[in-house]
Amino acid sequence: MIGMESSPVNPILQWSLRIIGFVATVAVSFYLTHVARKALEDDLNV
């Protein structure tokens, strides 16, 4: 309905998923940085 706020069904589940998403984002960022540095190092040392 318009103008009615609906609260999340389970706020603990919602925050858990947000935290898991954030941790996954950070992990992928570190992994891609590692892969990129290794690729640059290998390319420069050829």
pTM for the whole thing? 0.69
Separation between Cα atoms, residue 26 and residue 35, nearest integer Å? 14
User: So what's the pLDDT on residue 14?
Assistant: 93
User: So what's the pLDDT on residue 24?
Assistant: 98
User: So what's the pLDDT on residue 45?
Assistant: 83
> CA angle, 43 as apex, 42 and 46 as ends, to 5°?
85
> CA angle, 15 as apex, 19 and 21 as ends, to 5°?
30
pLDDT in tens, the chain (46 residues): 565 666 667 889 999 999 999 999 999 999 999 999 999 999 888 7
